[in-house]
Amino acid sequence: MKLTIITPDKLAYEGDVTAVTVPGSVGSFQILKDHAAIVSTLDDGKVIIKVNNAEEIIRIKGGVVEAKDNNIVVLAEGVLTN
């Protein structure tokens, strides 16, 4: 799957992933290969990116996520650093 995380001022992440967990407005949820198409609002929180056995965490400040045809796009209001 391909993941892209975009903020108004920069491209925060782009690459192939095996799983992504996002902070949905009604609770976190994970997106895996061949996930059903979805659009959801996001709260402030962690986007957990898994590439095989490696894990990376990017903290976002709200936004929306769209997953369709193994392409995941997170439009975040901002990326928190710390």
pLDDT (tens digit, 0 to 9) for every residue of the chain, 82 residues total? 999 999 999 999 999 999 999 999 999 999 999 999 999 999 999 999 999 999 999 999 999 999 999 999 999 999 987 5
Place of tokens 């997106």: 31
The beta strands (E) that lie in the chain are given as: 2-6, 11-16, 19-24, 27-32, 38-42, 45-51, 54-60, 63-68, 71-76, 79-80
* Sequence ranges of the domains in the chain: 2-80
- Right CATH number for 2-80 from 2.60.120.10, 2.60.15.10, 3.40.50.300, 3.40.50.720? 2.60.15.10
Instruction: Please give the pLDDT value at position 57.
Output: 96
Contact of 51 with 18, CB cutoff 8 Å: yes
